[in-house]
Chain A
């Protein structure tokens, strides 16, 4: 009985950590990505191409590569690691904060790209009208861009969240699989399989499968492929 409760508690811990990580990551991404996406959507230049490539890097790079470099970067003897230690009093590597930073970097293309594509479709004339009618740049973003790209913001948030829930390599490299601190679902699944506990593995794997499918179905319901994007004017 106690083992069942312990197992259940552990699973709950893993679930909480995972959801907390995905929520915080998504929230940070929703603040960080729009300015980057906006800048990328307004024209072409060398600097834009470089930033665009860096943002897209997590799409092609094995997550373990990213995790490896972050691990090195976050080590207590580096500038980042030391600064973090001085500021917070605890080491950065193998901490929840390190996971958040890693996840933000890992999931950023999934948030920036839908936003960038939506921003590119906003007609220049609409924004110029707003400016001429007295709207400041921030006002234009809030009163014109955000409502016109509402669906893309939801899509971006869902993709960012779901992708963070599903990450493995980065989390394994920089999180260290500490229960209640940095152990997330995808790693718990790996653990279960290694311990040959297939019942637990089935629960976690099935749960992730259903969750991912549900997110994708709701996204496609929200943005049917044949429907006109919401920003299309006359």
Chain B
């Protein structure tokens, strides 16, 4: 075990402790105000409501070291670039002060797609560009532990996916350990060796990315995460067939050929509709036979239906009127029609 952390929260009075293996990526998940940022700041040595009692890296106590002497680099969510320095000067700030390698500059600049920005001043960058530069600056400092606090929030899905892929490749190649805070399930699933979910400063769950299955973030759009396996590719349709609890699911072709690794799917609850009988002649490809586990009609107009699909759970958001007209009851068998799936490979 390489990073051992124990602390006491001075405000909420809860204790937190965990141990993380070296050279892994741990994703910290949880709603706003759950203490994710405080946790990273405490590890980096910045002021935080967490009073650290133990912080050891490879059995060396670093809890008393000032931030600049810790083997950690924290990149904050707001990028916090140095406004008087160009992008290039920002990038090498940590490289020159820590054990960075000048030869990393080109691959990182390429990987993050910021080559065209090098001569610009931070004030001329968009939020997404600034975040890329901040991530590059942190990577170039080449820390043993990289602490990233929602580093990609201002980027669109496509760019985010691309950068997550690069980050994953880079951290493995350079044997960097990463602690990554995010709200985004696909991002978490793509990066994580293990996941920690926090609520009110407490670790609610800790373990393999599987723990995100069925995770509900009150601040995000309601969605469910399911685990599936690749079955085969339908080359002519550019579709891949997945198996999820014995059910067939077709999604846009995935690049992987590995049929043993689990693939994680995120399905928004509003993209799931229900039918009492198997719908015939429909354009929707994905139909899953489920059992209703619970019906929550406490929402103003909508109802949230929890469906059992083998051992996994799928959420559907439909109107209360539909619940009444279809006369849905717990235990009933229904067909779930899936309109959209997002998958991270």
- CB neighbours (8 Å) of B93 from chain A are 130, 133, 135, 143
- CB neighbours (8 Å) of B98 from chain A are 133-134
- Contact among A126, A139, A147 with B80 in the assembled complex (CB-CB below 8 Å): A126
Closest Cβ–Cβ distance, residue A137 to chain B (whole Å): 8
Could you tell me if A128 and B80 are in contact, using CB atoms closer than 8 angstroms? Answer: yes
Q: Which residue of B lies closest to A146 (CB)?
A: B84
User: Within residues 137 to 151 of chain A, which ones have a CB less than 8 A from any CB in chain B?
Assistant: 139, 143-144, 147-148
Interface size class of A (residues with CB under 8 A): 20 to 34
How many B residues touch A, CB cutoff 8 Å?
A: 29
Q: Which residue of B lies closest to A233 (CB)?
A: B83
Do A132 and B67 form a contact, CB below 8 Å, given A125-B78, A233-B122, A234-B122? yes
Over the window 88-102 of chain B, the binary record of Cβ atoms lying under 8 Å from chain A Cβ atoms (1 yes, 0 no) is 000001100110000
Is the CB of B74 closer than 8 A to any CB of chain A? yes
Residue among B44, B75, B93, B123 with the highest chain A CB neighbour number at 10 A: B93
Question: Measured between alpha carbons, how far is A234 from B90 in the docked complex, in Å?
Answer: 15
- CB neighbours (8 Å) of A234 from chain B are 83, 122-123, 125, 130
Could you tell me if A147 and B97 are in contact, using CB atoms closer than 8 angstroms? Answer: no
- Contact among B68, B76, B81, B134 with A134 in the assembled complex (CB-CB below 8 Å): B68
Could you tell me if A132 and B82 are in contact, using CB atoms closer than 8 angstroms? Answer: no
Question: Measured between alpha carbons, how far is A231 from B67 in the docked complex, in Å?
Answer: 23
Is the CB of A78 closer than 8 A to any CB of chain B? no
Could you tell me if A139 and B83 are in contact, using CB atoms closer than 8 angstroms? Answer: no
Question: Measured between alpha carbons, how far is A231 from B81 in the docked complex, in Å?
Answer: 12
- CB neighbours (8 Å) of A136 from chain B are 68
Question: Measured between alpha carbons, how far is A172 from B130 in the docked complex, in Å?
Answer: 57
Q: Which residue of B lies closest to A132 (CB)?
A: B74
Question: Measured between alpha carbons, how far is A143 from B122 in the docked complex, in Å?
Answer: 16
Over the window 26-64 of chain B, the binary record of Cβ atoms lying under 8 Å from chain A Cβ atoms (1 yes, 0 no) is 000000000000000000111000000000000000000
Question: Measured between alpha carbons, how far is A125 from B77 in the docked complex, in Å?
Answer: 10
Q: Which residue of B lies closest to A122 (CB)?
A: B83
- CB neighbours (8 Å) of B73 from chain A are 132-134
Could you tell me if A129 and B141 are in contact, using CB atoms closer than 8 angstroms? Answer: no
Could you tell me if B141 and A133 are in contact, using CB atoms closer than 8 angstroms? Answer: yes
User: Within residues 109 to 140 of chain A, which ones have a CB less than 8 A from any CB in chain B?
Assistant: 123, 125-126, 128-136, 139
Is the CB of B137 closer than 8 A to any CB of chain A? yes
Question: Measured between alpha carbons, how far is A144 from B84 in the docked complex, in Å?
Answer: 8
Could you tell me if B44 and A130 are in contact, using CB atoms closer than 8 angstroms? Answer: no
Closest Cβ–Cβ distance, residue A107 to chain B (whole Å): 28
Residue among B74, B81, B84, B130 with the highest chain A CB neighbour number at 10 A: B84
- CB neighbours (8 Å) of B84 from chain A are 144, 147-148, 230-231
Is the CB of B177 closer than 8 A to any CB of chain A? no
Closest Cβ–Cβ distance, residue B120 to chain A (whole Å): 12
Is the CB of B194 closer than 8 A to any CB of chain A? no
Is the CB of A199 closer than 8 A to any CB of chain B? no
Q: Which residue of A lies closest to B134 (CB)?
A: A129
Closest Cβ–Cβ distance, residue A175 to chain B (whole Å): 42
- CB neighbours (8 Å) of B299 from chain A are none
23 A-B residue pairings within 8 Å (CB atoms): A125-B76, A126-B80, A131-B45, A131-B67, A132-B44, A132-B72, A132-B73, A132-B75, A132-B94, A133-B68, A133-B73, A133-B94, A133-B97, A134-B73, A134-B94, A134-B141, A135-B68, A143-B93, A148-B84, A231-B83, A233-B123, A234-B125, A234-B130
